[in-house]
Amino acid sequence: MSKHNSPPDQHWPVVVVGAGPAGLTAAITLADSGIEVLVVDSRLERSRQPRATVVSLRTMELFRSWRIDDRIRAGGNDVRWKMLVTSTLAESASGQSVDVGYPTDEQSALLSPTSVACVPQDHLENVLLDHLRSLPAARVMVGAVVQGVSQQADHGIVQIRDRATGAELRVTADYVLGADGAHSRTRGSIGIDRWSSGRLLEAVSVVFRAPLWKLVGPHRFGLYHVEHPEATGSFLPAGGQDRWLYSFLWDPEQEELADYSEARLVDLIRAGAGDHDLPVQIDSLGAFSFVASLATRFRLGRVFLIGDAAHQVTPRGGTGMNTAIADGFDLGWKLAWVLNGWHDDTLLDTYEVERRPVAEHNVNRSIDPEGSRREVSYELSVDLGGRLRHLWLPHTRTSTLDLLGPGLTLLTADESPSAATSSGIPVRRHVIDSVTARALGIRNSTGLLLRPDGLPWPEPEQHAGFNPAQPPRHHSTRQKVSP
């Protein structure tokens, strides 16, 4: 192993396989609670592809809680998260805006202390990785290929090979998280099957640089669908002043990527932009398939699947990265509670119960040909998931959401001592003003007891009969995917 990849202790409380958005989020959540976590990633260098660009309201709220939201947003673009349907970018003034399920800044201001962001995934991952490395309980191994995952009754086993030296390492863990993407080796190693839609569409994606903001002027959107007959496709800002993505459908049985010379790509981009003299620099070219999939289960024993390893969506709706991040946070705080001895391991049964309905909804949305066209009110409920209402506390820039902690949070308007709410879970108590308390529905001294994600936590006598097989009422799906 290199000096940056020196062998870790042979046993870790948690090993996370994969350092994408899901794995990094889970690891940060665990390390924030003092749980030692090892993240293993096969890449020697981080991806330079923008990939996902929409960062949802709930995701930005999480980043705000870690105080990295400004760093995240600094790598993105200031846009309205709607789709503009237009003949060319130069004709944006006459285009038609379409809701894509994300609130505008004006709508966000009523709902949250933050707003939806337009940030390329490569920048976002780098910020998350830097933040993770700043946490003493976390360790990251890069260039480490996981060759297989297995388990015994009381631990998981991860077989690792160092790409640079060929050295092999066997690491055990109380729990293993497979965050290693749609082709997850973790999922394959433990024998979990998945349903797949198969290839629905084929597309080409071009990363390029060009001064397109000058063409669109004040009509700044997160997604432009161009209907030019010679260059029908989508343009997305991808961070920086002039970095963009351009994607369009193609038939790989009739063409090859080699058929798309730089000159041909420049012509296509200029046609879609509506400026035949536009200076264009091509950075990269690739192809991808529209595929959706769903694992038949998200857990087997001590091994869990999160992110694309558990559910894969097509680009429609832009939900893939945000769903993965929500997975990582949900499982992260629940594992932290169990490993800190605050709760028994039945809490872990709620991970799939609570996350699968959201995954099913987003998989189905991504299969729908109209999946990128959604009313904000409908999709917002899926993103926020019934969390605590945001209200600004009087004379401060502190939101009610800022009061949430890693254990339980008790909000009350009563200064008198409260009865014990839990035998093992630490409770952080906040006395709030009576107006805010009333707006939150707090009517008596009992107060409002909340989980780290802002959802209500049952009182002890209620929790004793809590049935993790019942999904939360705030989740819904229009059509369930049947594996």
CATH number at residue 266: 3.30.9.10
* Per-residue pLDDT tens digits for 47-79: 889 999 999 999 999 999 999 999 999 999 999
In a domain, 473, yes or no: no
Does residue 377 sit in the same domain as residue 452? no
The span from the CA of 314 to the CA of 239, in Å, is 21
Give the residue from 17, 63, 22 showing the smallest Cα distance to 40. 17
Q: What's the pLDDT score for residue 476?
A: 33
Q: What's the pLDDT score for residue 258?
A: 96
Does residue 130 sit in the same domain as residue 33? yes
Does residue 260 sit in the same domain as residue 169? no
Does residue 58 sit in the same domain as residue 133? yes
Angle between the 320-339 and 57-65 helix axes, to the nearest 10 degrees?
40
Does residue 38 sit in the same domain as residue 176? yes
CATH code, 337: 3.50.50.60
Does residue 333 sit in the same domain as residue 455? no
Domain boundary among 290, 309, 338: 290
User: Which residue range is the domain that position 91 belongs to?
Assistant: 77-115+201-290
Does residue 336 sit in the same domain as residue 370? yes
How many angstroms separate the Cα of 336 from the Cα of each of 4, 216, 345, 390?
26, 47, 11, 25
Q: What's the pLDDT score for residue 421?
A: 53
DSSP 260: S
How many angstroms separate the Cα of 417 from the Cα of each of 34, 411, 412, 445?
29, 12, 10, 9
Domain boundary among 264, 290, 316: 290
In a domain, 223, yes or no: yes
In a domain, 218, yes or no: yes
Does residue 335 sit in the same domain as residue 221? no
In a domain, 395, yes or no: no
Collapsing DSSP to helix, strand or coil, 44 comes out as: coil
Mean pLDDT by 10 residues, the chain (483 residues): 49 97 98 98 91 97 98 97 98 97 96 98 98 98 96 96 93 98 97 97 98 97 97 96 96 96 98 98 97 98 98 97 98 98 96 98 97 95 96 96 97 72 82 95 86 84 33 34 42
Indicate the number of domains in the chain: 3
pTM for the structure as a whole: 0.92
In a domain, 483, yes or no: no
Does residue 11 sit in the same domain as residue 153? yes
Collect all residues with Cβ–Cβ distance below 8 Å to 337 and sequence separation of at least 6.
343, 347, 407, 425
Domain boundary among 290, 320, 350: 290
Does residue 178 sit in the same domain as residue 298? yes
Q: What's the pLDDT score for residue 466?
A: 28
Does residue 175 sit in the same domain as residue 312? yes
Does residue 413 sit in the same domain as residue 329? no
Give the residue from 329, 394, 293 showing the smallest Cα distance to 33. 329
Give the residue from 89, 48, 120 showing the smallest Cα distance to 283. 48
